[in-house]
Structure 1
Amino acid sequence: MSGARAGLAVRVRLWLIGRIRRSRFLPTGMPDKRVDVAALEQPLAADVIVFHPTGQDTLYQLLPWLPAFRALGTTHPVTIVFRDSRTAAAVRTALAEGGDDAGVTCLTLATYGQLDAILSRSRVRLALYVNHDPINFECLRFTSLAHVYLGHGDSDKGVSVSNQVKAYDYCFLAGRAALERTATHVMDYDAEERSILIGQPQLDGSPDVVPAPDPAGRPTVLYAPTWEASQPSVSYGSVDALGLELVRALQPAYRVVYRPHPLNGVVRAEYGAADAAVREAADRVDLRVPLEQSFADADLLVTDVSAVPLNWLPTGKPMLVTVPGVPTPASRMLELLPRVRRGDDHAALVAHHLSDDPTRQARTALVSHYLTDVTPGAATQRFVDACEQVMARRDRLWAEKQALGATGP
């Protein structure tokens, strides 16, 4: 092939790639890498970056953190770095809807080289991460930054404990339960030294909601299971084994509100089919309803081993946790909370816990163990204080390294 023809082929390929990236046919989970070109030659006016290279299907991990990022941004500007312009656009919209977003900006980059170039001309001090995506390592490479893992909601899931925590300088954890879980399961890692307890700032950003009881006067049961998971060892989702059985057993005595996980059916088609059946059977399906509204409308929660029980704890209302088909790590919460299995008398179990609520005192004791402090605003302030603490330590240590010849970024 001649040089001219080869050059034309490259240009055509790049044109096609660009068209696909701009089209509606590109999967939401695949970053489009459409770059904010105007920003490439400018330094970041930020002390903190949030590195989020994944697509729109992980927005549920990032969006609850925005109020905390906004609080941090009032004194330490924050830039959220994306690989997907559609995800960045959704976050910009959410920030604008949330009020003053002057301290939080969004930036889309396509390559590791662009990240290197922009950090080289900037004075970023801290990088935050809400998941363990493998692409995080492109940012973790930079030695002039302190790196902190935030996660996107604590839980007793086995996947909540990962050897990947060793990649970060610190982990900000919701409560003592998370620290003890890490110390128990992760080898050769000083969890006490590298963990900072902040509570769960995502709960501080909860919108004000007004409960909407069932017009027919029935008690409301919220069924909020998790997805099937990509790893069989942590497949705690109950939708296929229990979902339809549960809904049918509770109707018509109870209004059943179903809150499906956004990733249901991504791994197993049969799990997606079960999800569709439960949606069809439920009295209401909460897809774009704030979690807080689902909670406010419900009298009792049925959920899986996931982050949902922790978020529900501060409501003070009863809950049942399903028993999955795989082993679960030992936990104080799972020891104390009532469990529900396939074949149980679901209606009788729900009636008992709604009328007698025998685990109320035990649940109250769990709140501080799992969430540290649920006083409104307390967790957000602890988050800001922890970020400042880590940045101050980073500044001191990086000055020492520069004196020895380190150049960064």
Structure 2
Amino acid sequence: MSLTVKARRGLKLMADSAGNLFLDKRVRRQLSARNPTTPARYEAVLYFADDPSSAYQIRQWFGPMLKLSERHPVAVLVHKATTAAAIMEDCPLPVYLTSGINEVEQFVSTHEVRAVFYVNNNQANFTVLRLTGPVHIHLSHGESDKVSMASNQLKAYDFAFIAGEASRQRILANVPRLDPTKLVEIGRPQLDDAVDNAPNNDDGRVTVLYAPTWEGDRDAMAYGSAASHGPALVRALLADPRYRLIFRPHPRTGVRLRAHGESVKLIDSLIASAVKKSPDAVHYRDHNHDFRGAMAKADICICDISAMAMDWLPSGKPLLIAKPVEPAAVVDPKGITSVVPVLEAADAERSPSILDELLSRPISAEQFDLIRHHFGETDRGASTQRFLLAVDRAMQEPSL
């Protein structure tokens, strides 16, 4: 890691610490006024220790957790005041600020919490994992071929809820000595409440969703295309009157590598200029927390090796994957890029003609097979039911 990157991370940590100290008391007052005034018992908690830039990870579980709360009351425990402030307005569940393990332990004990859910592998998770009463369940925050999806850290949890057979095979092939009974397939509950197709202006334009992932925390995870493909791809699409662009970059883009953040700014400026010249084209950057609206509006998607690619698959609409330019990026030879067409960085300026070809042919049978392999049954509501039943079974596990 370069001195510049270390310095940026150090400054960010200092800023986060100062922000949390300033916000702590005010946020606690706001949460106290927002949360139930009568004593409540929560059977499950969704624990999140990350900063606001990673809040997308927990937000995507609000919907499934709200459904779970109908049978097992759920609270959200947040480690940082800045994160609590960021999510309290759109979180449909009670949110509590638990800045240290003592507060977490007291909450779990007072409410006799039976299950703790985690959406990532933040180091703070492993402090909470010392609690022996509740069952600890890892959820992740999406299904993808990223190398991070098969981590030895999964052994620490009582169960890991995974999307489907692809995830099971990936984990068991790469994580030795993992008990396979820990892996519970639930599909992707977030897709059960898909947004109905929202019509765009009826002008015959094809709507393209470009949703690059971030640059990753290391070279092996460098799947992001914002810097390598983004500017040329966007210029070409904006210049073609047959296409409308929705740009939805990963919220952490530019956290590690400034070039990716600068590319997002450049693309934003390109979109602004295009809208000024042709307002009726309705190009825009999607800032909504919920990714499903942009997916519903788009006719075709260009993205990277990421959860966005997997979430797009069940739509049955064309998909194009940007090929990583980082040689060290780990690409599964039997993964999504072995089936779905890929876009080389050198061909980014030819994106309109490549999309023309994709739109002219049907989705391959192999791509539909990927859906079943990754998510199992995808009928509306099926994943949610699998999730709820899996939680019921996990809560029946004996505790100390």
The aligned counterpart of 1:101 is: none
Which ranges in structure 1 are unaligned for 5 or more consecutive residues?
1-16, 97-103, 402-409
Give SS of 2:228's match.
Answer: helix
The aligned counterpart of 1:9 is: none
Distance 2:306 2:110 in 1: 41
Distance 1:180 1:352 in 2: 33
* 1:10-409 → structure 2 map (5 Å cutoff): 21=20, 23=22, 35=28, 45-96=41-92, 104-190=93-179, 192-213=180-201, 216-250=203-237, 251-252=239-240, 253-282=242-271, 283-288=283-288, 290-324=290-324, 325=326, 326-344=329-347, 345-357=350-362, 359-393=363-397, 397-398=398-399, 401=400
What does the per-residue CA deviation read over 1:81-108, in whole Å, with 9 as the maximum and x for residues that have no partner? 1123453355443245xxxxxxx42211
What does the per-residue CA deviation read over 1:134-166, in whole Å, with 9 as the maximum and x for residues that have no partner? 011121010111111001111011111111101
Two-structure CA RMSD over aligned residues (Å): 2.5
Q: Does structure 2 retain, via aligned residues, the 8 Å contact 1:300–1:318?
A: yes
What does the per-residue CA deviation read over 1:239-281, in whole Å, with 9 as the maximum and x for residues that have no partner? 1111111122333142222111111111111111111112222
Aligned length: 362
Deviation of the 1:311 alpha carbon = 0.8
Q: Does structure 2 retain, via aligned residues, the 8 Å contact 1:301–1:318?
A: yes
Deviation of the 1:178 alpha carbon = 0.6
Q: What amino acid is aligned across from residue 347 of structure 1 in structure 2?
A: P
- Give TM-score scaled by structure 2 length: 0.84
After alignment, is 204-213 or 322-331 more displaced? 204-213
Give SS of 1:237's match.
Answer: coil
Distance 1:212 1:341 in 2: 29
Q: Does structure 2 retain, via aligned residues, the 8 Å contact 1:204–1:376?
A: yes
Deviation of the 1:44 alpha carbon = 6.2
Q: Percent identity over the alignment?
A: 31
Distance 1:59 1:18 in 2: 17
Deviation of the 1:340 alpha carbon = 0.6
Distance 1:189 1:20 in 2: 39
Which ranges in structure 2 are unaligned for 5 or more consecutive residues?
1-15, 272-282
- Give TM-score scaled by structure 1 length: 0.82
The aligned counterpart of 1:99 is: none
Give SS of 2:296's match.
Answer: helix
Q: Does structure 1 retain, via aligned residues, the 8 Å contact 2:44–2:115?
A: yes
Distance 1:79 1:132 in 2: 19
Q: Does structure 1 retain, via aligned residues, the 8 Å contact 2:187–2:377?
A: yes
Deviation of the 1:216 alpha carbon = 4.2
After alignment, is 167-176 or 118-127 more displaced? 118-127
Distance 2:317 2:226 in 1: 22
Distance 1:289 1:94 in 2: 9
Distance 1:186 1:19 in 2: 38
Q: Does structure 2 retain, via aligned residues, the 8 Å contact 1:170–1:195?
A: yes
The aligned counterpart of 1:406 is: none
Greater than 4 Å deviation, 4+ residue runs: 17-20, 31-39
Give SS of 2:55's match.
Answer: helix
Q: What amino acid is aligned across from residue 163 of structure 1 in structure 2?
A: N
Q: Does structure 1 retain, via aligned residues, the 8 Å contact 2:59–2:91?
A: no
Deviation of the 1:221 alpha carbon = 1.7
Deviation of the 1:384 alpha carbon = 0.9
Distance 1:289 1:118 in 2: 28
